[in-house]
Structures are given as C-alpha cells and as structure tokens.
Structure 1
C-alpha cells in the first residue's frame, strides 16, 4: 500500500471543497478516503482509519487556515453521520468496495479538443511531455490520451537540438499560454515549433528531477522499550514514545521472519498513531523479528528502529463451552499451521491427541465426562516447512470455571479505552453451556430474563457488540464500538437455534477527547485537549492538595473562551478527562483520557536574625510562597569564603519540619556552636519537596 501523502491529499481532495458543497455522494467516498481498488481488505480498512486520524490532526492544528479547517471539520461530521447510518458496516471492506466509482473518462471528442487547444503551436510531443500528460489526467486511460493526441495531429518524437532563449523557459514556468510565447518567437523569425517543444521538454525533465534539498530530518529519537508477547493466536506489541514524540507522531511496524528489519527490509505491518498493536497475521516460527520506526511529519525520514524478536508458537483460544451435568464439551480455535493438539486431563493424567485436518477450519472439539475438579492443559503442535515440530504455549482450563447456574446471564459494563468513537467493555462469568452474545439498542428489549427465543428473532434487536472475547480468570471480557448516548445491552446465551435472554443493562457513553496535555504554572494546572466533532462538554476529575477527589464540568463553549484551569497544590496529581453527553436520560461519560501531572517543590523564603542579648542565638523566619506539607529543613553553619553548597560542607545545627499555608510564616531558634562560623544556611532534606528562594546567604560574625 502506497503511503498517504497529506500534502497531495489536501491539494487533490480537500482544497476543492473550500467553497462548500453538498455531502459526498456514496460513489465519491472512495476518493475522499484515499482508497484504491488494488488495496487488500486489511489495507483498505487501515487507510480509512489513517484518513480519519489525518482529518482530526489537521483540524486541531492551530496553523491550519480557517477555510481548510472548515473542510476537515465537515469531513469529520459527515463521517460521524456515516457511522450513525451504517454502523458496523463501515468495518466491512465489501461495503467500501461497493462504493468504488468506475473510472470517469473524458469523451474522446472533448479530450481531443482539449489537447489540440493546449498544444496548438506544436506539431509533436516528446515522450516525457506525453508522460506528464498521462499524470495530469489520472482518470483517463492512457490509450484514450494516445488517441486524442493522434486526432489532434500531434506526433510523438524527441525534440531537436535547438538553442532555447532563456526567457522562453521562464515564460513556461510562469504559466503563460503556448500561443502567446509562440507569437513572440514568430516575431523574431525563430523556429517556433521546435524551440517550444525543446523548451517544454526541458521544463518537464527539470520538474521530474528530484529537487536538491537538505536531507530529510530524522525523528529526534526512536521509540523505547519495545516488547512483544503472544496473546491468544496473535502477537501483542507495546512500546513507549521516544523523547520529543507528540500526538502527531506516527509509528511504522515492520516484521521479518529471518533477520532484524531495516528501513528497506521486511514487511510493513501497519502505520498507526498509538503505541500498541496486535499482529493477527504473525507467521509461526522460532524467531519473528519486529522493528518500530517513528516520524512526526511526512517530510521527515523514519527514525532509527526499536527492535525485538520473539518465538511465535501461540496457544489456542477457547471459543465454545457446553456442560450438561457431568458431560463437558469444549471447542478451541487454533492457528492454520497447527497439525495436532495435545489435551492433558488431571486427575488421571490422561493425554488425548487430536489431529487437525484442513477441513476443520482451525476448530478443535473435545468431549469428556467430568468428575470432581477436572483440569485441562491444551497445547497445540506446529510443523514448520523444514519438517521440525514445535509445541505451542499451553492453555490451562478448569471445569469449575464454568458457571453451572441456570440463572440468566448478567454483564458488567464500563466505557473502554477510546478508539475512533465510544467503546464499551462487557464482562461476564463463563457459562457451562452455549456461546454468549451481546446486542445493544437505544430502546429496552421486549423480552424478560430467562425467556427463550430463536436465534433469528435475536437479530431483530439492535446491533451486535463485536469484538474478540478474551478470558480473564473465571470471566470473559469483550470490547467493541457502540453508538454514542444511552444504550441498552442485552446478553444472551445461544445454544444451537435457541437463545436464552439474560439481564439487560444500561450504560451511557460519549465521544472521547484525545491528546490531553497539562502545563503547570505553580499550583495552577492548565489543561488542553482535542474535542471530537459534536461533543458539547467534558468532565475533569483530579485530587486536590488535601487528597480530596474533585470534579469540574466544562462546556466546549467555555473551554473555547477561557480554556481549562484547575488548582491542585504542588503534589503530583492524576487527572482524568471524560467526554460528556447530557440528555433527559442523564449524563453519559466516555472512557477517560489520563494525564499524569508531576509535582513541584514548594517555594519558601527565609531570613536570619541574631538575638540582641544572646549573641550565639539565631532566629530563622520561614515565609511560605506555596503551601508546605511536612517538608524537612536542615540548618547548617559553616566557615570559609563561600557559603556551603551541601549540608555535608558544614555543621548541622537542627532539623525542622514545616507545615505552612501559602503566605504563612514560622520561626525557628537555633544556637551557634562556640567556634566561629560565617554562614548559616538552610537546605531541604528532600530537594523535591522544598525550594529555598533566598537569593543572598546570611553572613554571620559569630564571636567567641
């Protein structure tokens, strides 16, 4: 898949919409989302997400011209409308392919007229000029362009070697019509057609030559702490952003089966803005290598990589469970490369071998008579091209993990980590019988818990919560995208053609904010984030300086006018920002966007004064600029021409803990030793808690 060029995309797709216009017709969506019929299904869906991320990033940039920002905002709003209309269909590559418009070719007569008018003074075109014409008319097949050139009476040949006046090249560069240039050449008695063809060919050649510019700028640092681990049937990659990486930084994940990938080796798996990726197509093998590169803009070269390697012999995934009394049936999904599955049962230490055939479609079933607390270890076996066999990671399962209750299934719901839109995580206890499905809709279901309905009738209620069920101890977790607002979630247990209705639950979700940033200004913290289109409010939660949880709601209008500021003292705090959607049903919340704000040292000033009658007694007055909560002070006396830079360079006289409000003061009396000391200096026992802002040290003349 060719990388998306934001500059070319803006010129070709965005700028023509600056004057407004109707929403894109469905046969125009392929162009708007920069799709191509040659893309694979995975590349096509990945490109739609990449284009959405481009819209959000450019719309949020303060340097984007207002006219272009309106276009990007309109694209985002119309994309949200598409999600509201088609829902999960937008996850289908077939749906997008059905919107591909057939190539629109100019009528041959019109194209011939265009070519004839454009190159009227010429009797021929060079191969390079013809190639440039192909690129200028990407929607017109090349054979139609060739036909139009022939009908316009133009031959295709190389230009003759004739001198070209410098002003001719300058005129072509300035965009003057060929007809006007030809008139001036004719007035001078020159070979008009040959000079123009040579000048046009030279200009085309210069335009095709890469400009001599400075080498592309590299990203400041590569990603850090790249980790890889098998997760179910896939490989999970996680990494940390490098120094200087921002919300605009994108990461390229490259995979190679034989050696560490480089800039020009390996398979590009994805390019994403996040720092986590699940590779569902990782090849099975003893050492699969990964590299992650970074860059923050298209004009940068990719950074040096973060690399790791991992043996990929995945486990299995438990897909279906059925238990009827003591009879247990389990169904697992395995990778296509699996040739055998070994199932070890305890107690009894019975080992069963299941051969995996191609017509099994990666599904392995097992039936058993359960007695007591039976435990199972399921281990796939892989056979590589060289004939070697390798055991995969074992999967452990206990029969008691299955709930044998006949009560209708219930789920726990919570907003999930943001994706493009709102997402929900549902959790439930594993069932002894049947597969669990969840449907969601704005209206409550007409059925009651325990009702038995047909699987066909279930399809009439709302939409499916789609995602990959993942085991979580004795529970199962499923995360999927949902519609914003308040929704009812209906869990059902499906066995064959019958479904048992569970307990419906209700949850409100909102569009999430993104790319939150916090900036400290003393005790005040200034927060900023990117608002998704259509979100009207947000809720900010944090802990204040007394440890009490605090929340504040802010509207998009108030944020635009005054920003968002909170006061939280000088301690490190954890801030969560959630999108809110308020309706008659209540306030729906998104998953939180989290910001960790570091603390800072409380600023304290101090002065020193000698007791008038007791000359060795000194009074230190501390004045707090910020609140101080138990910061420990070390008082040191020292001699020498310069004040001490560290407590070890003097004699420790006292230690004292300060508890002061902002602008509060406190006094401490210390006694100097009998020896003469010129300096009395206060230090913080922990420099992270206190900062003394006294500019001049006190110079003491302690007399014996």
Structure 2
C-alpha cells in the first residue's frame, strides 16, 4: 500500500492547522493514515517509516504544515512510550479501530438524544443547527452525524433565500395591505383564489396538491379583474378591485406575484417573532396563512435572525430615510404629530441629510472639473442613496460622464488590428464603447475620425485598417443607456502585413513558392541563400517573383535553399514601407514511397488519453502521422495535397527521434479505437501509407466479487462507451477460462457468474470498445477470489410490539459457520424493483465494523431504514475479510413493497 503524500496533506495535515485541544486516540487512525487493508506487518512497518520521514522533512518548513508535523512528531514519541502501544502490530491497530467504532456508536446515540430533546417537537432541524450541536462531538465524522440525525427522527432542512422586498413600489405595497385588510384576505393568494380550501406551497413554486390548474400568474390576475369588473358593486368588491389593480400595475413593472405572496408571509412571521413566539408557534402561524407544513417549516427555518416586523408613523419615516426617500420622508413629516417623541430626532436627521446631500453634489462638480470622473460618480451615487426620489439628483446622474476605459492595448494580428481594454472604474450598467480611428493624431472626441464600431464587450477588431500608416485609436465609454461619452483612452499601431501562407513545393528539378499578399501590396521581393536563412533584405540572390508565386529552376540536387519574402507598401508620401521577412526553405526531392511498416504500441493510460509509441524506418524520408476513428478515403500509395490530408483526423503532435535505424514518436491521443495513417512528403504531394489500428479503452471500475457457495458473482461499473467485457478466470486447479460478456447479458444475468473450486482463483476484466477503426481493449482490472469461505447467514425483522408497526428500526441477526474476527458488514437500502448487487456509498444505510461472531452463536444487531419510496430492498454485504460468503434470507425479508 503506497503512502499518498498529497492525499495525506489534504485529509489530515491541512485540517489540523485550525484544530485546538490535545490529540486523542479517536484520531489515531487518521493521524497515522492506517487504512483497513493495511494488515501485513512488513507493509505496516514500511508505511510508518515513510510517514515519519515525511513528518521529519516537513517539520523544518516555516509554514503551518511544518507546525502540524512538529506536533505529530511529539505525539508519536509520547505514544511509543505507552506500554500498551504496539504501533508495528496490525492486530493492535485492529483493536484501535474496534474501540473507536464502539465509542463512535455511543457518541452517535448521545448526539441523537440531544437533537431529539432540542428539536423533536418541530420534527425538523437545519444543517447549521445540526453542526452547532455536533461541535460537542469532534470524534464524529459527517456520516456519523447524519446517522445521529436519522436516529433522532428529524428531517434536515436546507434553508432558502427569502425575499427582502415585495418587488412592488413601497406606497403601492402599503395600499395593497390596506385593501387586503378591508376584504379579509391575509395574502394575495386568497385574493386571487378566494375559494381555496387546501394548503399551498410557495417557496419553490406556487402549487396546490390535487389542484394543478391553479396558478399565481398574470393570466389568473386578468381573469379575477374581469370577474370583478362584471360583478355587482359592493364595498367589499370595490376593495377587491382596488387590490387587483394595484397588483396589475406591479406586474406590469416587473413584479412576481409569487414573490409578493412570499414576502407577505415573511412579513407576518417577522411581526409574530416580535411578540417573542417560538418557532413551533411561528410554523402554526404560517400554516394558518394557508401554507403546507413542509413550506411552513422551511420558511421559519430560513427567517433572518434578529429581524422583526415594522410599524407606522415615525418608524415609516425612518424607513423612508434608510431607503433613500428623503423627499418622501419630508412630505410624510407633516403627518407626524407634533407631540410625537421622535419628531425632533427625525427633523434633525433630515437636516443633517440635506446638508450632506449639498456637500456631496458640490464635491461631485469639483471632481468633474478635475477630471476625476470615478470620484464624481462615487459622490453622485452617495447622493442618490440619500435622495433617490430627488429629480435634480437623478438628472445629475443621467448626465454624469463615465471614467475612461483603462489599459487600452492595440495589437496588429495579420491584416487586422485587435483592440482590447479594461472596463472603467464605474458602477454604471449597460456600458457601451465606441472606437474611433484617425491617421494623423489622436481623436479628440467620439465624432472625430473614422468610427470603427460600437460594442458592449471590452474588445473590438478593426478589420480594414489602412496599410503602412500610423493609426491612432481612441476608446470612448458611455453607461446607463445615455449619450454622454467619457474622455478618450488611446493607443497606436502601424499595419505592415507580412506575406501569409507561404508554401514550398519541391520537385525533382524545381522549387515552387506560393503565398498570400495583402491587396494593398506594391510588390513582393524574394532573396535566396544556400544552407542558411537570409540575414537581411540585401542578403543573398534576388529572385524575380510575381504577386503571389515564384518558380526557381536554378538549383542543385542535395542543397537546401532558403527564401526570404518581404512585402513592399507605399505610405501617403509614396515612400516604401517594408514588412518583416518571412523565411521558408526547401530542396529538390526524389519521388517519395508510401510507408507500409508503421508500428503502433500503447504505452500507458493517462485519464481519458493514452500514450502511444510509433516507430518506422529512419530512411523512409519525412513522415507525418495522422489519426482518426475511421479509415481514410484514399488507397495505399495515393498522392494527396497537404490541405486534403488535413481534413483527415488530427496530426500526431511532437517530433520523432532517431534511434539507430528507427524513428520513434511518442504522444498522447484520446482513448478508444484509432487508425494511424502515415503520410510521406514528396515533391508532388503527400503519399498515403498503410493504416495501422491501435486503441486503448477506458477500464472497468468498482470490480467486486460476491461468493455464494461454489459460485462467485463478478460485478463492475461499465465505461460509458464499452459494450463488451473480456473476463479471464485463472484457477490453480483448473484450466484458464476466457469468456466475453455483453452489456445486455450482464444486465440480464445480474453480473458474471463463475464456478470456484477449493483453491480459489484470480479474475481479470478488460473493457472492449468497438468503432470504425476496430476494437480497443483496456488495461485489466484484477481481483483475487479466496478458496475457502466463511458463511454468514442473516435475518431481518421488524421489532415486536404494536407500537413498533410503523417504526423504521430493524433487528438484524447474523450467524456464522466458523469463528470470525474483524468482520465488517454493510447494510444497503436500495429503492426500485432491482435487487442491489454491490455496495455503493449512496445506498449504504448502516455499517458494522470489527465484529467477532462465534460459530453457530447468533449475534443481534440493529439499524434504522432511511426514508425512501417503496418498493425498496434491504440487503447485507460483507466488506471484510475477503473470504466471507453472505447467504441471503428469503426474498420476502429483503424486498419491501
């Protein structure tokens, strides 16, 4: 068993940096990274040596990890002095594991009792509350804590975000509350569904069990308005009409009716909390408002702590001031009684806010004069937070210029110019950018020059810039959908495109060059040198060239020729502007032969890719290899162009290395069947070689064996693309057996069943995928099957007694045909009609570790069935040791319908 340093640091060292208090025996297994399978004394001794070496090396580091390792080394020295400590004895560690499991079971029961005492009356608890109580039991891991919650019979609630506002205008919401009070509707749910007599859900969506046609939407609102408009007039009806019209206006402004109703419920609960009602009574308040029990519990658990409901009068005015409604507060002040004890304080607060507002506006004007737009924006936003209902403040904000864009970068990319920048230091939304170009100087404004474009992104491409000229770019920004542009942010560039796509086509007596030139090019000059690249525009021999092609016949066989290509442009004064030189090379070539002996070998798998090694003769010439799942469209020996070859699959990356008479190329390719096609470079094109198949499939996962008498059932998790598995069954007392299992046969037969003799054996499974390129096999996954098995029989019963008829508690009794030490069992509860075949973490209901049953002596155990829909299966598996066979009871005890 290899010591995994990275995993140890993540699981043990880093969490211990914040751990306080002494180290205890409950933490021994984790501190020493003792896994259940570490039962060999020699492996245990080597593991401890590597662990202590890591502690010693890390303790010298001046980091938190070093401090933890020093602490672990000191605890290790203390532990070695204890007379009962036998650190190099696997049996001692097994005893530590058993003792820890026993203590954990006791702690789980204690935690369950505390949770039940505190929250049993509610029947539910939040995850935060669970974690708060569980802090008193640091020895418990998350699985133990979850078991305690289940044992306490509680439902864990994940709190949700509740709305902090209704989405309606404040005045409209207050008017709506008054109208609902007049018509006797506690929320808008009863307003829109006056005949509703069933609980409704509201948190995730508005639903009524058994009434799927009921909605809380605009269509329902329109129907209720139409009904109210045609009904006979009455005071109650006039109140309903007014409430419905208020909702219609709010929905038109973007309000969500479900959010409005949920906010009304939250507001009512907060007001009740102000009367010091406990959560159980708050849940009752919510159900009286019409909510389902589940939604009521969830909303009460999610209520923000420390908040209670509001009131009117002075509180309403202070609420206006807090929400930036200074002018509305000044208007409401007239309705506050002169004898109100809070009036003087409110008058003073309004005066202070008026003075602060004037200062902010004056400072903002000065910041604009100083070209500090970001500071001006900050000051205006602060003024809006004081008086959002002041038209003068809103006007100043609408006319506020943004700060300029930052870090403008101008880059020439081929024949275009790419610009990118950072957004302004601004809180404005809907930012638009305009890019302008001038040839002689920086643009002075958003209209000064050629408009390149407008965008909401922070990048733009000038696709048709002038060539050979100094280009001056400016970026202007505007926000909030306004027409006020910022100051400019500038950058410059000069576009002198090189020739592109230069291609060399060697022949037996000539070299042909082709390239692409910019439409504005005046000419392309070519210089030729032998054996080395040209050192500049005057080096070498000038070769006459056309606008996009050249044919050179002045050549000698075996010589490599270099060609330097320079594009020439003219500026506005007809002066020459030269591009950078593009250099290509080639030499006359003999006709190429197709490669027919390419070899492909998979080396190792790396996640979803495979490293392959390709070899071919070193005298085959210049060879490229491309790969694809299917065969190419050309026959062996066909000649294709590079562009045609590029349409087949992908080229193998990397450069080959020469070892003696062979070229070797190693590269990573996707797993699965692939065809590798070599292309030999020749003067007339690429010559297609013989395709070679190679592939490596993803291996199976979670290989498990379950022995029943003389048979063993082999199960595994299939890779997604595999449809066939090859099973190799090797036994010392019988010939090796090989069989192929299809995915359909595996499902129909509940796995692969093999016959086991007295000596056991080894089973190996390889996944096989098939595609146009053929089959690909994975690495083998191997599992040993012991020869002599210990039989464990079990029975599952519900506790006796009339009161236990609905209990989720179950009594489990096991009997073994031999004495057994350190027996680990897993109880799985799997929903659905199919019997579970393996232990998967998501269906494990209970684990029992370190059991020591005696031959023929029943051992009673118990566990709790988690809440799950019927039908479901209850089944017991042995997870340790390997030579245990579990005999199932009748199906009637396993399947619950």
TM-score when normalising by structure 1:
0.28
Higher-Rg structure is: 2
Which has the larger strand fraction? 1
Structure number having the greater helix percentage:
2
